[in-house]
């Protein structure tokens, strides 16, 4: 009798199912949330619970991964982020001055409209924003095969002339989704740029996040984060844009180089520490020939981050 009770399946409440489903959706690797969602629907077999979880998880996932969506008429694209968010389903593309309405669960942009004046920065701020956008777009086009970027004004967008502080944010995202090759990954960086008029300085704070999922004959996930600071002098829009682009290029290149060095050391350090000295086969592992293990080489190639 006791054994029967122990083996009896424990029933989960709808709230417990909701929490579990939401966790799985939010923790989906880059580009894989739709696959996870499809499997969850089958496992849950409860459309109400799934819809609740999806309606909460997808917007958070899309913003945290800075999903890029094409406008319906192909006139541009919009990044789904907290910096572009005007409402829970409307997001601004400052480059084209358009607002896209987003279906988070389907991950598509369903409608667009012109942005109104209140949603856009003043002409003075727009000079700095657009100049920086031009330089960052050039850099991203050269550095990331599938990179997308945007520049937003997050503070002081009504400033009309010199004498006040304001803040811009540069958002860069690059993805490589290749499930047929068992590899998905993303690079994302956010650069908060504070223009301080009284001090005549520009303070830069950067956050970089690299995520990768490699699942050929195994299951390896990478989630690396990096933060940095820098500064430059307050100059004209064009000169400021050039200086800021060089700062961003320097820090991202430096971090990418350090990541690639870590990949190169994996066979001789991390992998070796994970393996027993003498496995159950009683045969020593061939550390002298670790080049045959192609994880680091394939990760670098599939993510398209070789420079």
Helix (H, G, I), strand (E, B) or coil at 304: coil
Q: Which pLDDT score, from 0 to 100, does residue 10 have?
A: 76
Helix (H, G, I), strand (E, B) or coil at 197: coil
Q: Which pLDDT score, from 0 to 100, does residue 280 have?
A: 61
The CATH classification number of 12-64 equals 3.30.1140.60
The CATH classification number of 121-271+285-307 equals 3.90.1150.210
Sign of the torsion formed by the C-alpha atoms of 284, 288, 292 and 294: positive
pLDDT higher than 70, residue 110:
yes
pLDDT higher than 60, residue 20:
yes
Q: pLDDT tens digit string along 154-212?
A: 999 999 999 999 999 999 999 988 888 888 989 999 999 999 999 999 999 999 999 98
Q: What is the pTM of this model?
A: 0.82
Residue boundaries of the structural domains of the chain: 12-64, 121-271+285-307
- The predicted model gives 3-22 an average pLDDT of 78
Q: List the structure tokens of 50.
A: 């799934």
Mean pLDDT, rounded, of the chain: 87
Distances (CA, A) of 52 to 20, 48, 142, 167: 12, 6, 41, 36
């Amino acid at each position: 009798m006791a054994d029967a009770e122990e083996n009896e399946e424990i029933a989960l409440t709808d709230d417990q199912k909701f929490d579990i489903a939401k966790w799985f959706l939010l923790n989906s690797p880059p580009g894989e949330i739709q696959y996870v969602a499809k499997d969850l629907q089958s496992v849950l077999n409860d459309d109400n619970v799934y819809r609740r979880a999806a309606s909460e998880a997808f917007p958070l996932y899309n913003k945290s991964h800075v999903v890029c969506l094409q406008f319906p008429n192909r006139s541009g694209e919009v990044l789904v982020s907290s910096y572009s968010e005007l409402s829970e389903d409307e997001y601004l593309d400052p480059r084209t001055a358009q607002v896209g309405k987003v279906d988070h669960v389907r991950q598509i942009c369903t409608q667009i409209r012109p942005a109104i004046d209140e949603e856009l920065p003043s002409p003075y701020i727009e000079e700095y924003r657009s100049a920086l956008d031009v330089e960052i777009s050039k850099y991203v086009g050269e550095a990331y095969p599938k990179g997308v970027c945007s520049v937003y004004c997050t503070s002081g967008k009504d400033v009309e002339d010199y004498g006040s502080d304001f803040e811009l944010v540069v958002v860069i995202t690059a993805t490589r989704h290749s499930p047929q090759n068992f590899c998905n990954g993303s690079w994302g960086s956010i650069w908060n740029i504070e223009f301080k008029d009284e001090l005549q300085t520009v303070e830069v704070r950067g956050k970089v996040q690299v995520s990768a999922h490699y699942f050929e004959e195994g299951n390896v996930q990478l989630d690396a984060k990096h933060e940095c600071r820098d500064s430059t002098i307050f100059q004209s829009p064009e000169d400021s844009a050039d200086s800021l682009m060089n700062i961003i290029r320097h820090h991202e290149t430096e971090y990418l180089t350090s990541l690639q060095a870590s990949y190169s050391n994996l066979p001789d350090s991390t992998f070796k520490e994970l393996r027993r000295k003498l496995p159950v086969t009683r045969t020593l592992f061939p550390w002298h020939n670790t080049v045959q293990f192609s994880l680091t080489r394939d990760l670098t190639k599939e993510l398209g981050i070789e420079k």
